[in-house]
Homo-oligomer: A and B are copies of this chain.
Amino acid sequence: MKPNRIKLSDVADAAGVSAATVSRALRNPDIVSQKVRERIQFVIDELGYVPDPAARALASARTDVIGVLIPSVTNSVFADVLRGIYSAAEGTSYRIQLGNTRYSVLEEEKLLKVFLSQRPAGLIVTGIDQSAASRAMLLKAECPVVQIMETGDRPVDMMVGFSHREGAFAATCHLIENGYKRIAFLGARMDPRTQRRLEGFSQALREAGLLDERLIVTTPRPSTVTLGSELLGELLARAPDADAVFCNNDDLALGVLFECQRRRIAVPDELGICGFNDLEMMAVANPAITSVRTFREEMGGRAFELLLGSLNGAPVGEGIVDLGFELVRRESTRRSALN
């Protein structure tokens, strides 16, 4: 059963040194003489020695695991963030351990417990709305923690994100400026970030005296392109005079666009469409769809770098990074004639 796997002591024997020296050559090469270090490296290559992470973790009371908690593996927004994380992790000795919370704070709590039991080197968690129990666990975790996707006061440790509220606010102002009067909100899933986008939306319209609650259509269902089509149908049944929609995200926006094509509703003249996140396809849709670009891959990368810095004893503080957003104006909101 147990194969004759090469272990540290085998290397030590073959190199004619003690196990301690081999361990040091691996963990802390500087304190081993060059001659010995090279001999050890040679033997390691020769024998194909690979350290056992479990043994190392047990002996040193720490691992090279970075735990990452995201609400969904299929949502491309998080996929982008993940890619950023994996890219940044490339070449380091850290391993990513992914947890899928499915947008559930309870699930998050459970996963956090499991992750923490492994003594992770660091933790990346999504959002700022952890349960009290989760927050408590994070606060007393003996590793650096980065909250991503949003910024806010009260960080557990570090943060990298942007303001969804402001992003939505900016997008809505843009619609208002372009002369739209009956601006609707289409929202799915309604997770905390979506809620804050709705706040930004509402605020902009309220300030312009244009807010009409009947133009807000939301559902707890996860957002899909199909759902975008459906929600537009609902909206128009309820308020046929809507002249623009701000979609909680790009999937919905695309669904709205398809539905407009189907119903022969002219975009942007009869209906303006604005999405959120600026997925790649927004630019190539017909017409191209206005969206709020977010820097998802960079967010993942920065989160990992923050962790790394903290692990290398970088000065703490300066732990909140606001990546901002960028309103990308495209045809879908470019009205040819202002009404």
Binding site for B on A (CB under 8 A): 1-3, 50-55, 57-58, 61, 63, 73-74, 76, 79-80, 82-83, 86, 95-98, 100, 113-114, 116-119, 142, 224-226, 228-229, 251, 254-255, 258-259, 261-262, 280-281, 283-286
- A59 → B minimal CB distance (Å): 9
**B74, A79: Cβ atoms closer than 8 Å:** yes
**B61, A58: Cβ atoms closer than 8 Å:** no
Which residues of the partner chain B approach A1 to less than 8 Å between Cβ atoms?
A: 61, 142
Which residues of the partner chain B approach A225 to less than 8 Å between Cβ atoms?
A: 280-281, 284-285
Nearest to A288 among chain B residues (CB) is B258
Given contacts A2-B61, A225-B280, A254-B281, list 8 more A-B pairs with CB under 8 A: A50-B116, A53-B118, A54-B57, A97-B97, A225-B284, A225-B285, A226-B281, A255-B284
Which residues of the partner chain B approach A118 to less than 8 Å between Cβ atoms?
A: 53-54
- A229 → B minimal CB distance (Å): 5
**A86, B100: Cβ atoms closer than 8 Å:** yes
CA distance A98 to B96 in the complex (A): 7
Q: Specify the main secondary structure of chain A where it touches its partner.
A: helix
**A95, B95: Cβ atoms closer than 8 Å:** no
**B3, A226: Cβ atoms closer than 8 Å:** no
CA distance A272 to B300 in the complex (A): 39
| Contact sample, A vs B, 10 pairs, CB 8 Å cutoff | A1-B61, A50-B117, A52-B119, A53-B117, A54-B57, A54-B63, A76-B76, A224-B281, A254-B281, A262-B286
Partner of A286, one of B142, B226, B258, B281: B258
Which residues of the partner chain B approach A280 to less than 8 Å between Cβ atoms?
A: 224-226
Q: Which of A51, A96, A113 has the most CB of B within 10 A?
A: A96
CA distance A142 to B3 in the complex (A): 9
Which residues of the partner chain B approach A262 to less than 8 Å between Cβ atoms?
A: 286
Nearest to A53 among chain B residues (CB) is B118
Nearest to A281 among chain B residues (CB) is B225
Partner of A229, one of B53, B55, B254, B284: B284
Which residues of the partner chain B approach A286 to less than 8 Å between Cβ atoms?
A: 258, 261-262
Which residues of the partner chain B approach A254 to less than 8 Å between Cβ atoms?
A: 281
Which residues of the partner chain B approach A228 to less than 8 Å between Cβ atoms?
A: 284
**B113, A50: Cβ atoms closer than 8 Å:** yes
Which residues of the partner chain B approach A117 to less than 8 Å between Cβ atoms?
A: 50-53
CA distance A280 to B51 in the complex (A): 44
Which residues of the partner chain B approach A229 to less than 8 Å between Cβ atoms?
A: 284
Which residues of the partner chain B approach A142 to less than 8 Å between Cβ atoms?
A: 1, 3
Which residues of the partner chain B approach A55 to less than 8 Å between Cβ atoms?
A: 54, 58
**A83, B73: Cβ atoms closer than 8 Å:** yes
Nearest to A107 among chain B residues (CB) is B90
Which residues of the partner chain B approach A251 to less than 8 Å between Cβ atoms?
A: 281
Which residues of the partner chain B approach A73 to less than 8 Å between Cβ atoms?
A: 79, 82-83, 86
- A92 → B minimal CB distance (Å): 12
Partner of A283, one of B97, B226, B285: B226
CA distance A228 to B95 in the complex (A): 35
